[in-house]
Amino acid sequence: MTTVAVPTNKRPRLPEWFRLQLPTASAYFATRNLIDDLNLNTVCESAKCPNHWECWSQGTATFMIAGDRCTRACGFCAVETRKPKALEADEPERVAEATRRMKLRHVVITAVARDDLPDGGAAHFQQVIQSVREVNPGILIEVLTPDFMDDNAAIDTVLVARPEIFNHNLETIRRLTPDVRSVSTYDRSLSVLRKVKERSPETFTKSGIMLGLGETEEELLEALGDLRAAGCNLLTLGQYLQPTKKHLPVVEFIHPDKFAEHKQTAEAMGFTYVASGPLVRSSYHADDFVPEDYQQPS
């Protein structure tokens, strides 16, 4: 049985619910200029996120640290796979300055996979978090990390900086993982989330799954159950979109009504917060979730 569709030059037409408006708000261009001025990378651009027009128009962005070259070549991801450059020592300060200028109350910080580094880039994550807190005290920090090869020391290094939300994406169901992801494994991702929750129970753990790659309803339910068993609190479910003709094709476009059903199912399973919809991505409207005991700065 074929596990996943193979790349094809024929790309299906997007359903009507994917119609997007191009930006007109001045905030979009202000965000664009700020990112350029501070020479920062964003997953919004590198991963060809369909929402970056909206997010930038609202004065927010997801910062991608440790460069724009990934050591892995996942079948779904548009981030470039090449030998990475050296880490930039001043990047933590530049990211912190961006959060200050943008007056962010919730920031999402992600990174390319850096398997070339002994700690997978964990210390760099820690430095960025600490720098952001120094100039923006009270900000809620969410990290979206690679799996760090499930290394205990690397996970602990990030947790020392005490991010409020630790996000690591499962991406897809067990059967499709070998075709969809590079190097990463289904069980390793679950292990990372489990270890974070065991080491830091107060930290909210978060994960995301792309739909439309050929998963069945039963397989999705199994994945959701596995995430809950690993202690995962927050969940995002979104539609996979083929970024280029070289990437895995879309097998199915999931109707918004089905996403609504999945949201109800996940909430019934005990997830604290669920964002589910065709355009939902890991950091899309991330600031919609605010812990009950968290006091945001005025």
Rounded distance, CA 148 to CA 208, Å?
A: 17
Among 38-42, 100-104, 127-131, the minimum mean pLDDT is found in 38-42
pLDDT reading at 19 higher than 80? no
Please report the domains of the chain, with CATH numbers, ordered by start residue.
Answer: 24-287 (3.20.20.70)
HEC per residue, 75-106? CCCCCEECCCCCCCCCHHHHHHHHHHHHCCCE
Q: What is each CA distance from 50 to 46, 53, 76, 237, in whole angstroms?
A: 11, 7, 14, 15
DSSP, residue by residue, 206-245: EEEEEE-SS--HHHHHHHHHHHHHTT--EEEEEE----ST
Q: Name the nearest CA neighbour of 227 among 174, 285, 160.
A: 174
The per-residue b/e assignment along 118-142, b for 16 or more CB within 10 angstroms, e otherwise, is ebbbbbbbbbbbebbbeebeebbbb
Res. 172: pLDDT tops 50: yes
Predicted pLDDT of residue 270: 98
State the pLDDT confidence band at 1, using cuts at 50, 70 and 90.
very low
- pLDDT score of 51 more than 60: no
Q: What is the pLDDT of residues 214-267, one digit of tens each?
A: 999 999 999 999 999 999 999 999 999 998 889 999 999 999 999 999 999 999
Q: How wide is the angle at C-alpha 109 spanned by C-alphas 37 and 194, nearest 5°?
A: 170
Query: Which residue is listed with tokens 């990378």?
Result: 41
17 neighbors 253 (Cβ within 8 angstroms): no
Q: What value does the mean pLDDT take over residues 54-63? A: 64
Q: Which amino acid is at 70?
A: C
Distance between CA 167 and CA 177 in Å, rounded?
18
